[in-house]
Amino acid sequence: MKRSSERLNMHAPLSRVMRAMGVVALVMLSASLAGCVESLQENRAPTALFSMSVDGGIIDDGRAIIVGQRLTLDASASSDDDGDTLTWDWTISRNVEVISEMTGKTAEWKADSAGSVTILLTVRDGEDTATKEATVNVVQQGAVAPKACAGGNEGTCPDPDSSSSPNTHYAYTITVNKESDDREMTETIDVELDASGSGLSSDADLNARIDEYIWDLDTTFDKDGDGDKANDRDAEGITYKMTGLSAGAYPIALTVVDNNGLDDRHETMVYIDWIGTWNELTVGRNDSQSDNDIDFTFTATYESSPTDKNIRRVEIIAIYPEQDEDLNNPIGGQFSDNELDLYIYNSTDDEVQNNSGDDDRENANCEMEEEEECSRVLISRSFFRVYDDGDWTAVLFNGQRHDTGDVKVTIHVQYAV
């Protein structure tokens, strides 16, 4: 028994050591976890962003205002990922000298003398800070901004001395004769934008000149991610070619800037319609051995907001002989009435519309010859609002027991006003 007891006692010191090591490990683990928790709870600095405007019009960094105008500063785009309460401090300086200090998410400053000023926004979350800086050139009263006109093949650019606004836009149509086995909208077009109608009024400074022509090629999208859709710089130059445009509506804008930093902006549209025509098609007869329908695919764009890019309507017309000689009739020489129906399906293959119940095919507002009939469907914008946009399908269906030949189909996808 004694030997056994001694054997047990021999292990006692080792147990005490292991227990001590366990305590140390636990303390180290607790300290490590505490460090992780502390690391996870580290404060994240806020983000400083602000916009500038005069009389409701946004102006960009480096642009100009006129003595006497009030500059509105708005830091609403600033943020804090931790959700901390923020404070905003504004400092306006000229040649390093501070000339104005303000606080608040928004502020207003009246320009009382000419010269370049620097606006500094400091955003604080109680622990960290972030800053954002911009410059504005203040010019003397009487200075006149240039007049922007983004051009277009529709409408006119007003004289720079006129008080009228430009009423121009671009409107082009892709017109294509399609092969019988090509029944999709794949064609594109290039459009050259021309800002040469922009200019300076006779009241402008004699030394004034337009230094920059800046194109925003999608006014609905904030490309640079700064919270302001109106200051994107997608392209530059007095002319610019937009390439590879498919049918659609493209909201664009031109900003012109003179050598004083005064600017003007003109927003307009580029509309691309599409007309595809198929000639001498044959639609098979309605039996188990024939393909008695032909599918055509067209693409439409509809957005609830913004609405600038929305389609206007789609018109589908099929013109065919009123009667067709039924060569399959054993007697021969017998003529049979033709009747082709149009069925429209949306991008999820739901039936949207058909004209199978329209019996008056001779008065369907189609341009056709005598002894011809017309199957016509008009899809207005409201249909795309209800049934969604995307790739739609028009199916030309032959319900008769004979083939119908010499069929002409035209699809007009319209975006232009």
- Report all structural domains of the chain as residue ranges with CATH numbers, in order of start: 51-139 (2.60.40.10), 170-272 (2.60.40.10), 284-414 (2.60.120)
Q: pLDDT at position 23, please? A: 43
Contacts of residue 126, Cβ cutoff 8 Å, sequence gap at least 6:
84, 85
Residue 5's pLDDT band (boundaries 50, 70, 90)? very low
Average pLDDT over residues 303-311: 87
Residue 184's pLDDT band (boundaries 50, 70, 90)? very high
Q: pLDDT at position 362, please? A: 62
Please state, in angstroms and rounded to a whole number, the distance separating the CA atoms of residues 65 and 121.
Answer: 19
- Counting other chains too, the contacts that 163-169 makes at CB distance below 8 Å and 24 or more residues apart are 165/266, 166/197, 166/266, 166/268, 168/197, 168/268, 169/268, 169/269, 169/270, 169/271
- 110 versus 365: which is more confidently predicted? 110
Q: Kindly report the pTM of this predicted structure.
A: 0.78
Q: What is the DSSP letter of 9?
A: H
pLDDT over 60 at 134, yes or no = yes
- Which range among 111-120, 137-146, 211-220, 285-294 shows the weakest confidence by mean pLDDT? 285-294
Best CA proximity match to 185, nearest among 175, 194, 193: 175
Q: pLDDT at position 258, please? A: 94
Average pLDDT over residues 124-134: 96
% residues pLDDT > 70 (the chain): 86
Residue type, 274: W
Best CA proximity match to 50, nearest among 153, 152, 122: 122
Q: Which residue shows structure tokens 């960094």?
A: 61
Tell me if residue 355 falls in helix, strand or coil.
Answer: coil
Q: pLDDT at position 358, please? A: 79
Residue 291's pLDDT band (boundaries 50, 70, 90)? confident
Structure tokens given for 147:
């007049």
Q: Is residue 52 within 8 Å of 73, Cβ to Cβ?
A: yes
Q: Is residue 75 within 8 Å of 50, Cβ to Cβ?
A: yes
pLDDT over 50 at 31, yes or no = no
Q: pLDDT at position 297, please? A: 95
